[in-house]
Amino acid sequence: MNIFSELLVKFFFLFSMFFLYSCEQGNPLNMEADILTINFVENILIQDIKVTSSTINIYLDTNIDLSNLTPIITISKGASIIPSSNIPQDFRNRVIYKVTSEDGNWTREYSIKIFSNFNWEEDFENWTCGYNEDFEVPLGWSSGDAGVAILNKFLPNYLKMYYLTSKSTNSYNGKYSAELKSQKGIGSEIVPSLMAGSIFIGNFNTIYAMSDRLKCPQFGAIFHYDGKSEPDRLTGWIKYVPGEEYINQEGVLDKNCSDTCSFYAILFEGIEPLNAYNVQTSDRIIAKAIMNGKEAKSFYSYVDIPFEYSRPIPKNVPLQMTIVASSSKYGDIFSGAPNSTLNIDDVKIIFK
Amino acid sequence: MKFLVKTLVIIFYIFTILNVKAEEYSLFNNIDYRLKAGVNLGASTPMPIPNRLSNLSWSPNIGPFIELSIVVFPDSNIGLSAGTKIEYKKMDVSASVYQLYSEINIDNLLTKGYFTGTNETHLDVSYLTIPLQGIYKINHNLEFVLGFFASFNLDGNFYGAVKNGYIRAGDPTGERTDIEFSEFDFSDELRNLDWGCIGGINTYLTKKLYLNFQINLSLSSLLNTNFAGIPYKLYNLYSSLGLMYNI
* Residue B127 distance to chain A (closest CA, Å): 23
Of B222, B216, B187, the C-alpha closest to B199 is B216
Residues of chain A in contact with residue B98, where contact means CB-CB under 8 angstroms, are 28
Chain B nearest CA to A224, separation (Å): 32
Whether the CB-CB separation of A128 and A142 falls below 8 Å is answered with no
Which residues on chain A are in Cβ contact (under 8 Å) with B47? Answer: 18, 22
For residues B157-183, average pLDDT: 88
* CA pair distance B86, B68, nearest whole angstrom: 9
A55: distance to nearest CA of chain B, Å? 12
Which residues are bridge partners to A343 per DSSP? A179, A239
Task: Locate the domains of chain A by residue range.
Answer: 28-118, 119-351
User: Which of B52, B174, B178 lies at the smallest CB-CB distance from A210?
Assistant: B178
A217 vs A209: CA distance, rounded Å = 10
Q: How far apart are CA B56 and CA B34, in angstroms?
A: 37
CA A287 to chain centre: 23
CA–CA distance, A266 with A277 (Å, rounded to integer) = 14
Report the b/e string of A193-219 with b at 16+ CB within 10 A: bbbbbbbbbbbbbbbbbbbebeebbbb
Cβ contact (<8 Å) for A1 and B75?
A: yes
CA–CA separation, B64 vs B167, rounded Å? 37
The pLDDT score that the predictor gives to residue A18 is 57
**Please, which residues have CB within 8 angstroms of residue B75's CB and are 6 or more apart in sequence?**
A1
What local confidence, expressed as pLDDT, does residue B4 receive?
54
Q: Which residues contact B152 (CB under 8 A, 6 or more apart)?
A: B3, B4, B6, B7, B127, B128, B129, B192, B193
Contacts of A154 in chain B (CB under 8 A): 106, 109, 111, 113, 169, 177
Q: In chain A, which residues have their Cβ closer than 8 Å to the Cβ of B179?
A: 210-211
Contact between B49 and A23 using a beta-carbon 8 Å cutoff? yes
The residue segments making up the domain with residue B212 are 2-246
CB contact under 8 A, A24 and B49: yes
The model carries a pTM of 0.76
Which residues in chain A (206-265) have CB-CB distances under 8 A to chain B?
206-212
Query: Does the beta-carbon distance from A4 to B51 stay under 8 Å?
Result: no
pLDDT at A20: 47
What is the pLDDT at residue B165?
A: 92
pLDDT tens series, chain A, 352 aa? 455 555 555 555 555 555 545 666 678 899 999 999 999 998 888 778 888 778 887 878 778 888 999 999 999 999 999 999 999 999 988 899 999 999 999 999 998 888 887 789 999 999 988 666 788 999 888 999 988 888 888 787 888 889 999 999 999 999 999 999 999 888 777 788 899 999 999 888 888 887 788 889 999 988 888 888 899 999 999 999 999 999 888 888 888 888 999 999 999 999 899 999 999 999 999 999 999 877 788 999 999 999 999 999 998 899 999 999 999 999 888 899 999 999 999 999 999 8
Please tell me the number of Cα atoms within 13 Å of A184 on its side-chain side: 13
Decide if A18 and B170 are in contact by the 8 Å CB cutoff. Answer: no
Do B37 and B65 touch, CB atoms closer than 8 A?
yes
B138 Cβ contact list (under 8 Å, min separation 6): B144
Contact A101/B47, CB-based, under 8 Å? no
Nearest CA of chain A to the CA of B102: how many Å?
A: 13
What CATH number does the domain containing B53 carry?
2.40.160.20
Whether A28-118 shares its CATH topology with A119-351 is answered no
Contacts of residue A49, defined as CB under 8 A and 6 or more positions apart, other chains included, come to: A37, A38, A39, A56, A58, A203
What is A28-118's CATH topology?
Answer: Immunoglobulin-like (2.60.40)
Q: Which of B108, B146, B176 has the CB atom closest to A11's CB atom?
A: B146
Distance from CA of B169 to the nearest CA of A (A): 7
> B104 pLDDT band (50/70/90 cuts)?
confident
Q: A1, B78: Cβ pair inside 8 Å?
A: yes
Cβ atoms of B123 and B155 closer than 8 Å: no
Q: Which residue in A248, A338, A101 sits closest to B114, CA to CA?
A: A101
- Domain A119-351 is of which CATH architecture? Sandwich (2.60)
Among B99, B100, B143, B173, the residue to mutate for chain A (most A Cβ within 10 A): B173
Rg (alpha carbons) of chain A, rounded to whole number:
25
The answer to whether the CB atoms of B177 and A209 lie below 8 A apart is yes
Is the predicted pLDDT of residue B146 greater than 90, yes or no? yes
More confident residue, A286 or B31: A286
Q: Are B114 and B80 in contact (CB under 8 A)?
A: no
- CB-based contact A156 B199, cutoff 8 Å: no
For chain A positions 151-210, those within 8 Å of chain B (CB to CB) are 153-156, 159, 188-191, 206-210
Window A:24-43, CB contacts with B under 8 Å: 24-28, 30-34
Q: Are B223 and B190 in contact (CB under 8 A)?
A: yes
- Kindly state whether A106 is in contact with chain B, defined as any CB-CB distance less than 8 angstroms: yes
Residue of B177, B181, B213 best to disrupt the A interface, most CBs of A under 10 A: B177
Report whether B171 contacts B165 (CB < 8 A): no
d(CA B146, CA B131): 10
Contacts of B104 in chain A (CB under 8 A): none
For residue A99, the chain B residue with the least C-alpha distance is B173
How many domains is chain B partitioned into structurally?
A: 1
A245 Cα distance to chain centroid = 28
Compute φ and ψ for A307, nearest 5 degrees.
-70, 135
Distance CA A247, CA A338 (A): 8
CA distance linking residue B143 with residue B137, whole number of Å: 4
CB-CB neighbors (< 8 A) of A206 in chain B: 175-177
Quote the CA–CA distance of A37 and A10 in Å, as a whole number: 56
Helix, strand or coil, per DSSP, at residue B173 = coil
Q: Does any CB of chain B come closer than 8 Å to the CB of residue A1?
A: yes
Number of Cβ within a 10 Å radius of residue A241 = 19
Comparing CA positions, the residue from A137, A232, A227, A226 lying closest to residue A179 is: A137
- ipTM for the whole predicted complex goes beyond 0.90: no
CA angle in degrees (0–180, nearest 5) for B206-B23-B138? 35
